[in-house]
Structure 1
Amino acid sequence: MTAKFWIGGALALASVAAIAQMPTEKPGSADPARVSGGTYTADPNHTLVGWTVDHLGFSDYFGLFGDVTGTLILDKADPARSKLDVTIPIKPVTASAGLNEHLVRPGKDGGKPDFFGPDQAAARYVSTSVQPSADGMGAYILGNLTLNGVTKPVAIQARFTGAGAMRGTETVGFSGRALIRRSDFGINGALPLVSDEVELNLTAAFEKEAGEPQARPDPGPNACNADKVQPWIGKAATPAVRTAVGKATGAGTIRWLYPDSIVTKDYRVERLNVSIDKGSDIIRSARCG
């Protein structure tokens, strides 16, 4: 009973500590200035391809393909020279076990499978051109999709959704939409009862490869007014002092950091970081970032 109590207590304390160390701010935001050029690798845990088809005119079938791998080469100087090459395993993730089995089961009596079959090769999409949008927040991507052994051109309307750093690694995110006809790829099961047109909704996260130089944003003209903290250096960061510092600097965000604080590594010129001693809360320094 005592052992169980201590084990349970230790687990509870570990959970509390883990939660306390989690970032308190989103590390990413839709700011193109945060994006640097280079080679990025798809994050398979956070890159998904959603698909939707009409089912008999009653409702939609929808599901996901995950575990996406591949690379994104971003050319910051000339975005039109960027390149995308991703591989999508045909392993449906759906809300219905019956639908999942229906999609990948073998054909009956030696015939063709209804849809993909049990040993379908992974799909692959390779871009051939990238046309950046006028606002710099999106792109029209044309490329070749290989699916079910057939290669056809497919266009993706992509949108930039965020960039920043997570655990010290630059990460960029995008969403996208595309429309294909499954009959173009020889997937003819249940036509026309199940729609030929398939709507694809994409969400993707890419992490900068190890060895690639990480972005170091220009700190700019002291956007957080860190120099205005000088009158409080050497004083305790009491609630009144913290309020006064906030008013004096006008910083968009202030982080009060102990030496062992775990924080996100993304740089924000408008954010004020104030270093304080643990225990006494004496203010030692202040900087933007």
Structure 2
Amino acid sequence: MPRLLPAALLAAATLAVAATAQMPTEKPGARDAARVSGGTYQADPAHTLVGWRVDHLGFSDYFGLFGDVTGTLTIDPANLSAARVDVTIPINPVVASKGLQEHLLRPGKDGGKPDFFGPGQAPARFVSTSVAPGADRMGAYILGNLTLNGITRPVAIQAQFTGAGAMRGTETVGFSGRALIKRSDFGITNGIPLISDEVELDLSAAFEKKAGASEPQPMPAPAENACNGDKVKPWFGKQATPAVRAEISAATGAKMIRWLYPDSIVTQDYRAERLNVRMDKGTDVIRSASCG
């Protein structure tokens, strides 16, 4: 057995040298708009992030990231103002402190409203409504509707084109962006003004052109409540027993109801008439409800 060790090390070294030799000598992406081709691109969940930051008591900042972003970007280099972005952002903060993450996602006391997001928070969604390219055509002012915590509000993003090229044989484009929102606009008011109302958003996005990328379905107008999700509130904090589920079905008249846990994998198509009821896993205690 000892004689096999040098041979194994030699083989490993040979493989390492071969792998290094295959690595590109230049970055595959470059800030060259001529590299961008028109079409529909899919968000790369592994390389698309939404960073956030708020002031905490005047001593330090809370900050963290939302990841696993999905969605589409449709772009025509000859008509940038017709570009459209539609992305879904899971509320799963990756933060520097485990205690802070638990604080953001923990349920409210005694079935009450959570301090921040809570464990059953539906994903956020941003759908652009207009794109105004900059004079250099390397940046754009994007207006759109952000739905967060069941509330839809207009949000503006100042975006910059960061690069394009082929990554692993797939056409890829990248962008950065900044936005400023008020969490009170989305019904998240805990701690204001000791914890700042204004939230800075720092965006980094990569989109890949993959076969089969489909056009996103249009989002209903803000404040549309075709599923009557607001009528579920009397059952928040109660267990979703068969009797309770029947009561909610009768009260809302929803044509379709999905009973979801925080880690449920669901389709991303938005249907205004579909009711999503989110529950704690293991107890089936109802925490939130929204259309979608």
* Alignment TM-score, normalising by the size of structure 2: 0.70
Match of 1:286 in 2: none
Amino acid at match of 1:108: K
1:1-289 equivalences under 5 Å are: 1-2=1-2, 3=4, 6-210=7-211
Q: Within 2, Cα distance between the matches of 1:9 and 1:112?
A: 61
Q: Within 1, Cα distance between the matches of 2:174 and 2:87?
A: 14
Q: Within 1, Cα distance between the matches of 2:164 and 2:77?
A: 13
**Cα separation, partners in 2 of 1:90 and 1:7, compared to 1, 3 Å:** farther
Count of residue correspondences: 212
1:8 Cα offset (Å)? 4.8
Amino acid at match of 1:60: D
Q: Within 1, Cα distance between the matches of 2:17 and 2:120?
A: 44
Q: Within 2, Cα distance between the matches of 1:23 and 1:84?
A: 31
Q: Within 1, Cα distance between the matches of 2:112 and 2:15?
A: 55
SS in structure 1 of the partner of residue 50 of structure 2: strand
Q: Identity, % of aligned pairs?
A: 75
Q: Within 1, Cα distance between the matches of 2:10 and 2:84?
A: 51
C-alpha offsets along residues 47-83 of structure 1, whole Å, 9 cap, x if unaligned?
0000000000111111000010000000122110010
1:125 Cα offset (Å)? 0.3
Which sections of structure 1, spanning at least 5 residues, go unmatched? 213-289
Amino acid at match of 1:55: H
Q: Within 2, Cα distance between the matches of 1:100 and 1:9?
A: 45
SS in structure 1 of the partner of residue 137 of structure 2: coil
Amino acid at match of 1:202: L
Which has more radius of gyration?
1
Match of 1:215 in 2: none
SS in structure 2 of the partner of residue 45 of structure 1: helix
**Cα separation, partners in 2 of 1:148 and 1:5, compared to 1, 3 Å:** farther
1:170 Cα offset (Å)? 1.0
SS in structure 1 of the partner of residue 141 of structure 2: strand
Which sections of structure 2, spanning at least 5 residues, go unmatched? 214-292
* Alignment TM-score, normalising by the size of structure 1: 0.70
Q: Within 2, Cα distance between the matches of 1:37 and 1:22?
A: 28
Amino acid at match of 1:181: K
Q: Within 1, Cα distance between the matches of 2:18 and 2:212?
A: 31
1:211 Cα offset (Å)? 6.5
Comparing 75-84 and 13-22, the one that deviates more: 13-22
Structure 1 runs (4+) greater than 3 angstroms displaced: 1-13
**Cα separation, partners in 2 of 1:66 and 1:211, compared to 1, 3 Å:** closer
Q: Within 1, Cα distance between the matches of 2:118 and 2:171?
A: 38
